[in-house]
């Protein structure tokens, strides 16, 4: 059974239809990459799945349970986490305080502050630092750690590598691969197509609210991904 | 002179107690609760009924009323404020002003225009005084109010900065969407915050009720004092409210020395001066004033 | 090949013509009140005009500039006081009303420089502080004798019938003038800026609208109209008791009229004022209950119908009743 199952999500901003019926699923221990140009509707889709934006129609199932009608905080408490674009840490609070906020889901699981510091050793010494004063890479680590503190089943990441140094991106992906090996379902929005080809289990490309390509990395190429981001539909392998 | 200075400090303590709930709600929810004064007077009537009619000792009555006002605050957030804040910044103002009008007049209907006092509930406390060297007498009650003000601020600051719920309130206040993505029930958090704000109003109600005679329409004057203290102090930590309240009390005391009507006028002028300074400094009054002073 | 659809840009329309007709008719009835309903009727007509002025001005401030003020009584009270002072100095009382209105405008202009730096709630109560300050200072004037107050004695030199006629016509003239200025303002270039600020202040700022300047214009206009209302209220009631002019009940009335009528629309403000006038006529005798009722209805509207009555009526009419925007029509056959 898939961990995260999304069916025919439609979402709009007022008159503007941003997401026009998107369907996909992510299994435990699977990493699904979502690609597409700016304005393709990726962020709106993620926010609709998380319950932060009201979808017009469609359903979201998490481990078989229908969470489509739940408000955002109940979806998170069910085990679906979103790491938003720009990390959105609480800048005046310390790293520890930010991490502890992630435990607001009250879910049982392996993740504690100590486990986070074991997974991200560079955060240990920053325990009492203000989150707003950290580097981009450190902030991303805190954001991932904060999501893990809620012991989720599935995590969605919006623009993982945006604004990070290459070294920080490597570190972030090293962490994400570990999470995949632990059996979490991961949905990753990314701009870096090569990263998607090398890392993903499955790739989806969106353009103007539609999915234009849905395939495995071995069945596609950089050129095909670029073409799909500009709206050329071909070989949709569901 | 010394006595006047001390009395101004003590008056500042009273204004601090008045302003805590208003400042708390403003900093957490960005809502200026225009019914703040009316809720304080309502709490004072609650204390009066508990104390005078039912013979409940005042400290216990304060605790009971805090629970009552907390529940009322939760209800206020759930029914009125959550709805109003969805319609922008203006509606909460309009709604709370409407509530103030309703409460003021309902209290008049229920309790009449007579002046009330809580002083008989506490024996001689309201006129007892400490004698300081130099033949200076200061009211015991005012000293206790100042102590309550400091303790209340310390408690709320500790709560906000050091407890889990405090962090959730801060998170909700700073970025509601992200807070709910972390699994925080933001509506519940804000309801609790409103409850706390109204509950601290009970302390203000006790102070108001013991210090002087009061009636159903006195809420707006208390709101003005509280608001002036908040603006003069500036938003941030609640300790700034204490500073703002002190400045307001000093300005008023100074005004009272100049002219019999000068008490209120000088308080308002201090408020305007604070607005002016903030206008010049861009940032909030006190800090910009201090930093400017140190630079030049 | 995309063909450019043919667009026609128009202002007004049938609904607007009917509205203008209705307004002219209403103005004519009001002007004829002294003959139709006598002195008492004229007094009520002035009250209606004062309510309309207050509602339209408060709506301009809150609905257009996004500035909720609970201290507009500053201008209302100061203008009444200025009229008393000027008349006491020998100025003709009707001329004094006009000067007092001008004083309100200047006061608005001066206070705008620091009040507009406050945001939302701070502005709201900040205005109240100013109003309280003015109230206290007015009480210091020996002529006013504190809360005892005084009267606009010089009005007594006019015969009571002539006085009621003059007051009414002046009130009508001022209301029409302020109304026309507001509509012209909304139809000017600045009107587009005002609408932009009303709909999205941040967005307006980003496309280069001078938000502070635009807000200042609205604020000064609102101060002027509210001041005129205060001076006219004094002329109609002759007694000046500071509490009756600076009192917070006026804010409650303004809030009620605008919230019930419809925030952000002139039509709504006028409907709210007329409704308030009717309610006041029949229910004011209930005193405190009447105020409780006003507050309850205002809160109900704020929560349940934040766009007021006009928010319900307006969209059901073809075109705007008071045309401040443009109608863009796409000819059907060429579209798409």
Cβ contact B175–A90 (<8 Å):
yes
**Are A105 and B182 in contact (CB < 8 Å)?**
yes
Position C328 confidence tier, pLDDT thresholds 50, 70, 90:
low
Chain B residues inside the 8 Å CB shell of C68: 90, 93-94
State the pTM of this model. Answer: 0.88
The verdict on a CB contact (< 8 Å) between C255 and B34 is no
Report CB contact under 8 Å: B177, A52. yes
Specify the range with the lowest mean pLDDT, choosing from A201-205, B189-193, C212-216, C275-279: C212-216
Q: Name the maximum alpha-carbon separation found in chain B.
A: 62
pLDDT digits (tens, 9 = 90+) for C74-112: 999 999 999 999 999 989 999 999 999 999 999 999 999
What is the reported pLDDT for A73? 95
B183 vs A52, A88, A105: nearest CB: A105
Q: Considering only CB atoms, which residues of chain B are within 8 Å of chain C?
A: 26, 31-32, 34, 80, 83-84, 87, 89-91, 93-95, 97-102, 105-106, 108-109, 220, 223-224, 227-228, 231, 261, 264-265, 268-269, 271-272, 275-276, 278-279
**CB atoms C248 and B220 under 8 Å:** yes
- Is residue B171 within 8 angstroms of chain A, CB to CB? yes
Taking only the tens place, the pLDDT of each residue in C30-83 is 888 888 888 888 889 999 999 999 999 999 999 888 899 999 999 999 999 999
What are the distances in angstroms from CA C200 to CA C119, C196, C217, C222?
15, 6, 18, 21
Reply yes or no on whether the pLDDT at C235 is more than 60: yes
Cβ atoms within 10 Å, residue B192: 20
Q: Is the pLDDT of residue C1 over 70?
A: no
Phi, psi (rounded to 5 degrees) for A35: -115, 170
Determine the residue among B105, B111, B216, B225 to mutate to test chain C binding: the one whose Cβ has the most chain C Cβ atoms within 10 Å. Answer: B105
At B63 the pLDDT is 97
Nearest-CB residue to A76 (from B170, B175, B183) = B183
CA–CA distance from C253 to each of B19, C225, C292, C300 (Å)? 27, 16, 12, 15
In the predicted structure, residue C205 carries a pLDDT above the cut 50: yes
- C272 torsion bin: left (phi>0), alpha (psi -120 to 50), beta (else): alpha
Query: In Å, how far are A180, B22, B151, B241, C184 from B13, measured between CA atoms?
Result: 57, 15, 11, 10, 52
Nearest CB to B87: which of C124, C248, C306?
C306
Contact C306 B278 (CB under 8 A): no
DSSP letter for A120, please.
S
Integer Cα distance of B25 and B36 in angstroms: 10
Q: Do B179 and A77 touch (CB under 8 A)?
A: no
What's the average model confidence in pLDDT over C196-216? 83
Give the DSSP H/E element, type plus range, for residue A212. strand A210-215
pLDDT value at residue C104: 97
What is the spatial distance between Cα A191 and Cα A171, in angstroms, rounded to a whole number? 17
Burial of A237 per CB tally in 10 Å (0-12, 13-18, 19+): exposed
Tell me the chain B residues in contact with residue A101 when contact means C-beta distances shorter than 8 Å: 167-168, 171, 179, 182, 184
Per-residue pLDDT of chain B (296 residues; tens, 9 = 90+): 788 899 999 999 999 999 999 999 999 888 889 999 999 999 999 999 999 999 999 999 999 999 999 999 999 999 999 999 887 778 898 899 999 999 999 999 999 988 999 988 888 887 888 888 888 888 899 999 999 999 999 999 999 999 999 999 999 999 999 999 999 999 999 999 999 999 999 999 999 999 989 999 999 999 999 999 999 998 778 999 999 999 999 999 999 999 888 999 999 999 999 888 877 765 444 444 444 333 33
**C124 touching chain B per CB within 8 A:** yes
B167 closest CB neighbour out of A52, A88, A97: A97
pLDDT of residue C326: 63
Q: Do A73 and B177 touch (CB under 8 A)?
A: no
Rounded CA-CA distance B232/B107 in Å is 30
Q: Give the pLDDT confidence score for residue C20 in this predicted structure.
A: 85
* pLDDT (mean) for C211-219: 90
Average pLDDT of every residue of chain C: 87
SS (H, E, C) C211-224: HHHHHHHHHHHHHH
Per the listing, tokens 């000293």 go with: B143
Write the ipTM. 0.89
State residue C9's pLDDT score. 66
Please report the number of interchain residue pairs, chain A to chain B, with beta-carbon separation below 8 angstroms.
Answer: 59
Nearest to C137 by CA among B257, B222, B255, B224: B255
pLDDT value of residue C12: 65
> Can you give the pLDDT at residue C327?
59
Residue B241 to residue B154: CA distance in whole angstroms: 12
Q: What is the DSSP letter of C63?
A: I
Q: In this model, does residue C330 exceed pLDDT 70?
A: no
pLDDT under 50 in chain A at which residues? Answer: 235-238
* Phi-psi sector, C8: left (phi>0), alpha (psi -120 to 50), beta: beta
Interface chains of chain C (3 or more CB pairs under 8 Å): B
CA B265 to chain C, closest CA, distance in angstroms equals 6
Yes or no, beta carbons of C288 and B109 under 8 Å apart: yes
**Cα angle B289, C136, C92; round to 5:** 120
Q: Chain B contacts of A106, Cβ < 8 Å?
A: 183
Supply A210's token pair: 């539609």
Q: How far is CA B246 from CA A135, B13, B19, C162, in A?
A: 41, 7, 12, 56
Burial category of A119 from C-beta neighbours within 10 Å (exposed 0-12, middle 13-18, buried 19 and up): middle
Task: Measure in Å the smallest separation between the Cα of A48 and chain B Cα atoms.
Answer: 12
The tens digit of pLDDT for each residue in A56-101 reads: 999 999 999 999 999 999 999 999 999 998 889 999 999 999 999 9
B98, B224, B276: residue with CB nearest C302: B98
Residues of B in contact with A76 (CB under 8 A): 180-183
Chain B residues in contact with A88 by the CB 8 A cut-off are 175, 178
Beta-strand (E) ranges in B67-180?
129-132, 136-139
Question: Which chains, if any, share at least 3 CB pairs under 8 A with chain A?
Answer: B
CB-CB neighbors (< 8 A) of B171 in chain A = 90, 93, 101
Identify all chain B residues contacting A51, using CB atoms and an 8 Å cutoff: 180
CB B85, CB B211: distance < 8 Å: no
C98 touches chain B (CB under 8 A): no
> How far does the CA of residue B241 sit from the closest CA of chain A (Å)?
20
Chain C residues in contact with B93 (beta carbon < 8 A): 68, 70, 120-121, 124
Return the DSSP state at A130.
B
Residue A40 forms contact with B (CB below 8 Å): no
How many angstroms separate the CA atoms of C295 and C273, rounded? 15
Tens of pLDDT along C28-40?
888 888 888 888 8
Contact C279/B at CB under 8 A: no
N- to C-terminal Cα distance for chain A? 16
Q: Does B109 touch chain A (CB under 8 A)?
A: no
For B28-31, the CB contacts below 8 A with 24+ separation are B28/B169, B28/B170, B28/B172, B28/B173, B28/B190, B28/B193, B28/B197, B29/B81, B29/B85, B29/B173, B29/B190, B29/B193, B29/B194, B30/B89, B30/B173, B31/B81, B31/B85, B31/B92, B31/B93, B31/B96, B31/C121
Q: Kindly state the DSSP code that residue B214 receives in the 8-state scheme.
A: B
| Two tokens, residue B235 | 């938003």
**Are A and C close enough to touch, i.e. 3+ CB pairs under 8 angstroms?**
no
* Whole-number Cα distances in Å, B34 to A164, B91, B129, B272: 45, 12, 35, 19
Task: Give the burial string for C107-145 (b: 16+ CB within 10 Å, else e).
Answer: bbeebbebbbbbebbbbbbbbbbbbbbbbbebbeeeebe
Mean pLDDT of the region C154-166: 86
CB contact under 8 A, B275 and C117: yes
- Token readout for A120 is 């991200």
Q: At what angle do helices B2-29 and B219-233 cross, to 10 degrees?
A: 90
């Amino acid at each position: 059974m898939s961990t995260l199952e999304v069916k025919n999500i439609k979402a709009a901003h007022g008159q503007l239809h941003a997401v026009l019926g998107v369907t996909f699923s992510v299994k435990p221990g699977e990493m699904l990459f979502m690609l597409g140009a700016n304005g393709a509707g990726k962020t709106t889709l993620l926010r609709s799945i998380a319950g932060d934006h009201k979808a017009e129609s469609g359903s979201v199932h998490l481990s078989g349970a229908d969470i489509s009608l739940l408000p955002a905080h109940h979806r998170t408490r069910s085990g679906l986490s979103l790491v938003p674009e720009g990390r959105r840490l609480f800048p005046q609070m310390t790293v520890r305080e930010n991490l502890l906020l992630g435990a607001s889901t009250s879910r049982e699981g392996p993740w504690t502050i100590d486990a986070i510091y074991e997974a991200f050793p560079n955060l240990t010494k920053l325990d009492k630092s203000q989150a707003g004063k950290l580097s981009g890479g450190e902030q991303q680590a805190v954001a991932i750690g904060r999501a893990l503190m809620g012991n989720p089943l599935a995590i969605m990441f919006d623009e993982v590598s945006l604004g990070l140094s290459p070294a920080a991106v490597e570190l972030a992906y090293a962490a994400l691969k570990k999470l995949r090996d632990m059996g979490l379902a991961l949905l990753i929005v990314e701009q870096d197509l090569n990263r998607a080809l090398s890392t993903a289990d499955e790739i989806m490309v969106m353009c103007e609210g539609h999915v234009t390509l849905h395939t495995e990395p071995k069945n596609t190429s950089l050129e095909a991904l670029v073409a799909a981001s500009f709206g050329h539909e071909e070989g949709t392998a569901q | 002179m010394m006595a006047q200075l001390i009395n101004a400090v003590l008056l500042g303590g009273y204004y601090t107690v008045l302003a805590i709930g208003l400042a708390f709600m403003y900093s957490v929810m960005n809502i200026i609760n225009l019914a703040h004064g009316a809720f304080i007077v309502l709490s004072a009537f609650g204390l009066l009924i508990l104390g005078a009619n039912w013979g409940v000792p005042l400290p216990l009555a304060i605790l009971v009323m805090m629970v009552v006002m907390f529940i009322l605050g939760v209800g206020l957030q759930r029914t009125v404020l959550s709805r109003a804040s969805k319609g922008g910044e203006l509606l909460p103002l309009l709604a709370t002003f409407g509530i103030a009008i309703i409460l003021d007049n309902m209290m008049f209907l229920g309790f009449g225009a007579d002046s009330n006092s809580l002083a008989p509930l506490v024996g001689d406390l309201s006129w007892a005084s400490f004698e300081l060297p130099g033949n200076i007498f200061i009211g015991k009650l005012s000293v206790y109010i100042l102590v309550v003000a400091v303790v209340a601020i310390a408690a709320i600051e500790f709560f906000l900065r050091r407890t889990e719920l405090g962090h959730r309130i801060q998170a909700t206040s700073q970025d509601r969407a992200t807070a709910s993505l972390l699994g925080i029930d933001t509506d519940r958090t804000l309801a609790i915050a409103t409850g706390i704000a109204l509950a601290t109003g009970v302390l203000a109600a006790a102070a108001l009720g013991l210090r002087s005679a009061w009636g159903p329409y006195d809420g707006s004057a208390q709101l003005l004092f509280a608001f002036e203290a908040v603006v003069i102090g500036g938003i941030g930590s609640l300790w700034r409210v204490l500073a703002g309240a002190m400045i307001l009390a000093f300005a008023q005391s100074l005004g009272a020395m100049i002219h019999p009507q000068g008490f209120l006028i000088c308080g308002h002028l201090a408020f305007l001066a604070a607005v002016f300074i903030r206008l010049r400094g861009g940032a909030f009054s006190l800090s910009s004033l201090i930093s400017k002073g140190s630079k030049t | 090949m995309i063909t450019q659809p043919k667009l026609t840009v128009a202002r007004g329309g049938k609904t607007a013509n009917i509205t203008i007709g209705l307004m002219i008719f209403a103005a004519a009835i009001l002007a004829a009140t002294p003959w139709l309903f006598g002195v008492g009727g004229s007094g009520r007509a002035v009250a209606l005009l004062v309510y309309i002025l207050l509602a339209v001005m408060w709506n301009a401030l809150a609905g257009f500039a996004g500035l909720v003020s609970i201290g507009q009584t500053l201008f209302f009270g100061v203008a009444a006081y200025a009229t008393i002072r000027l008349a006491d100095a020998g100025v003709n009382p009707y001329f004094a009303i006009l000067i007092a209105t001008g004083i309100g405008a200047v006061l608005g202009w001066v206070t705008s420089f620091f009040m507009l730096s406050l945001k939302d709630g701070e502005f709201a109560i900040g205005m109240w502080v100013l109003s309280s300050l003015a109230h206290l200072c007015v009480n210091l004037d020996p002529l006013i004798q504190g809360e005892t107050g005084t009267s606009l004695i010089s009005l007594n030199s006019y015969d009571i019938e002539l006085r009621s006629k003059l007051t009414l016509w002046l009130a009508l003239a001022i209301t029409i003038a302020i109304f026309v200025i507001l509509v012209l303002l909304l139809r000017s270039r600045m009107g587009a800026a005002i609408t932009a600020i009303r709909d999205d202040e941040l967005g307006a700022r980003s496309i280069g609208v001078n938000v502070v300047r635009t807000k200042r214009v609205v604020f000064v206009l609102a101060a002027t109209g509210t001041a005129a209302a205060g001076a006219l209220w004094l002329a109609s009631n002759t007694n000046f008791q500071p509490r009756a002019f600076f009192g917070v009940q006026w804010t409650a009335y303004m809030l009620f009229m605008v919230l019930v009528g419809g925030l952000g629309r002139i039509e709504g403000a006028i409907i709210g004022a007329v409704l308030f006038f009717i309610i006041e006529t029949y229910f004011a005798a209930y005193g405190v209950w009447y105020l409780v009722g006003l507050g309850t209805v205002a809160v109900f509207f704020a929560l349940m119908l934040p766009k007021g009555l006009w928010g319900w009526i307006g969209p059901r009419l073809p075109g705007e009743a008071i045309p401040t925007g443009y109608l863009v029509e796409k000819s059907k056959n060429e579209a798409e």
